[in-house]
Structure 1
Amino acid sequence: MQSKHADLPQLQGRLFMTDGGLGTTITFHHGMELPEFASFLLLSHERGRAALQHYYASYAELARTHATGLVLDSPTWRANRDWGETLGYDAHALFQANVQSIALLQNIRSHYATPANPIVIGGNVGPRGYGYRLSRKMIPREATDYHRRQIETLVDAGVDQISALTMNYPQEAIGIALAARSSAIPAIVSFTVETDGRLPSGESLPDAIARTDDCTGGYPAYYMVNCAHPGHFEPILRDSDQCRERIRGLRVNASCRSHAELDNCGKLDCGDPEALGRAHSDLLPLLPQLAVVGGCCGTDIRHVDAIYRHCSDANQRSAVAKA
């Protein structure tokens, strides 16, 4: 059973934006603790729910300002079984957190979406272990079984797609894509890379994408790169055109530091938003199908605004040159 990938609004030829670094925004700008970087915990208290509402609404307003569409991924990156148990959530509480996360985004969409500014809701499925270092490996069948319950919950709650973010080895990405296929929901797979452009497991980005496609019949609607600075993966894209057509989304870090350096950094490294935007316009010739741009760790609305502006301006210059 195939999902209707072509129906996704962000695949209709217009550049969309997505949000920025939810966890770092809440931690460093709102001054709220996120144990294990689990944003879904914010749903459990009034202050947290207000912070999430403000965070997502600010990006909806930014998308409206730029007259573009928006992809919003739910705060459920940590809302899977193992992390839930670590954080004291039983199966029912975890189910409620996933459902409430989607309800929050549906509320945002009801207030901000228009036919000219559609909002796509992604059910954010994170890794079973750590996103930035490989703690254990599952085979694809095990990964499918592990992630199936969360994916089914998100689908029943009304998501438009499953967004598998910060995948650090292909077998887990394969399992998530297969679980999404069994629910007939589009799957977006986003890999993270180290400063050398390789996944934490050691595979190259082109090899990881090719392996995931081979094992799923090309099921993912497209691929993304997240939680990495453009400087980390641009050389890979220049050296190999193997995966360029399949990468249609970027959620980058503000900092050019490695994952290990960021983990040990007590201060927020927010880099230079305009420089980050310029780096994206330089990437456009290497990613001809780029459809969604946004941020990850260290980024906020300033970065996403700059990224979108530079990409949009570059696209307009390219269109004029071709005319």
Structure 2
Amino acid sequence: MNDTFKHGEHLTTDLIWDGNGVNPHASLTVFRHFDSATVTKGLVGTQPKTAWVIDYSLLERIHYLLVAGFDVYGNFGHQLITRMYMDFLRMEGESNFLSLLPADVRRQELADWYQGANQHLSDFLQGDINAFDQPTGVKYTTADPKRELLDRLKTKLAPVTPHRYDFREAPLSAQAITALSEIDRLHGQRATLLPELTFIMVEPTNKTLEPQLFTLARNSAHKNISSLFDEESNRVFANDDVTLVRGLLGSYPGAFWRVKESELPLLAIQAKHLESEKDYRALLDKFGVRRTEPNFWAFSDELNAINQHDQPIEAGLLDYNRIENR
């Protein structure tokens, strides 16, 4: 790579595939849950902490590792080796992204992504995987090159970015969308109190419309994700936040909320004042649909029917094993 991009030649955003103007797979967003993940087309939510740039070689290796060559029923050794090799592939994708940033920012950004990593990993990150030392060909005009780069990529990919998950496009009132926007800005302790995935059903004031489905995903902040064990020690709870999307995202809901459109401002206020487990239980008492409730399965049937109607190809059975008892 040092020879190919010598002096930053060709190392610009022109390298990024634009989907030929029609392919929505040009950008993907990965929502990493505790032991599963959801991949969506497009750039969903606010700017992420980390990003990858994947070339064909890397895409092919990821495919053979996680799809073609992965044994769902494999033993612990197989799964451990898969996870370890995927760590290297992830770091390669991250390094590709970092190469588009100014040279003096790359190490600083990488250090932020791998805070508290063990010494062996730190030595590796500072060594072979980041031996690329050519300057970027991207011209930056702000003091925050990472944000500027992500903004440029978002603009470039806008023509092929689907808007399926944009909650602002739901057929609800402006007041309701404002309330949803406030929920989308939850962070810190308020976000930490929430399950990883909360499915929300909103009953529109306009009775001619079917209930609208949303997912509130908790983004769990970490110092790094390089460790297989003791994840709690790498958590940075103060930096937790959420992403609200239209439709159902993920297969393992932790909670269900059912709310009338007119009650969304009240839900937003109550969510913004979450400070304790007691506060969260009070919110569930008013808006939650616990699995102990008599109408739970009727609610479940309705939610799944709406999802099947809205997304007939992608919709599938949900796994309720992780619904929380709170």
- The verdict on a shared fold, with TM-score over 0.5 as the criterion, is no
Which structure's CA Rg is the greater one? 2
Give the number of the structure whose residues are more often helix, by fraction: 1
TM-score range, shorter chain: under 0.3
